[in-house]
Amino acid sequence: MSLVLALITLLTFSMISCNNDNEEDEMPSRPTISLTEVGHENSKIAYPGDDLHLEAELLAEGQIKRIDIEIHQEGGSNKIVELSYTSGKYVGVRNTTFHEHLDIPADAPLGEYHLHVTVTDMYGQQTTAETHIVVEAPL
C-alpha cells in the first residue's frame, strides 16, 4: 500500500516538474535590438532644433508591446527626448525596422548624451540598447 502511495507521489511530482519545464519552454526569447543607424549615416551627432534620424532592427518573439526612447545628458538627469510607442505599426509585431526622426529641442545644451531604446514584449520582458551621441552646434 505504501509503495503504491509512494509511486503515485513520485508520478505526481514528475508531472508537476514536466509542466514547469513546458511553461519555461513556452516563454519566448527576450527582445533583441540592433541600432543600425543613429544620426545621418550613423554619425551619432544631433543638432539642437533639428531631428535625429534613428533606425533599429527589432526582433521580439513575444511580440512588441511598447518601445521607449530616451535621450539624456551624460552624467545628468536632463532628458531632452522621452518618447513611448504603445500603439501603431511597431506594436503587436515580432520583427520590424524602427525608423523615426526624433525632435531635438532648440535649447538642448551642447555636449555628450546617452540614447536608450527599450523594447518590452507582451510577456513583460525588456531589453535596452544604448549608445553615445553628441549634440553639436548646427553647421
Contact footprint for Zn ion (CB under 5 A): 53, 114
Nearer to Zn ion, 52 or 60 (CB): 52
Tell me how far, at minimum, the Cβ of 78 lies from Zn ion, in Å.
Answer: 11
Nearest residue (beta carbon) to Zn ion: 114
Nearer to Zn ion, 44 or 62 (CB): 44
Tell me how far, at minimum, the Cβ of 8 lies from Zn ion, in Å.
Answer: 55
Tell me how far, at minimum, the Cβ of 53 lies from Zn ion, in Å.
Answer: 3
Nearer to Zn ion, 8 or 49 (CB): 49
Q: What are phi and psi for residue 62, nearest 5 degrees?
A: -85, 15
Measure the CA angle with vertex 89, ends 86 and 92; round to 5°: 65
- The DSSP annotation for 47-98 comes to -TTSEEEEEEEEE-TT-EEEEEEEEEETTS--EEEEEEE-SSTTTT-SEEEE
In sequence order, the 6+-apart residues with CB closer than 8 A to the CB of 119 are 31, 33, 58, 60, 64, 66, 67, 126, 127, 128
Tell me how far, at minimum, the Cβ of 116 lies from Zn ion, in Å.
Answer: 6
Nearer to Zn ion, 61 or 103 (CB): 103
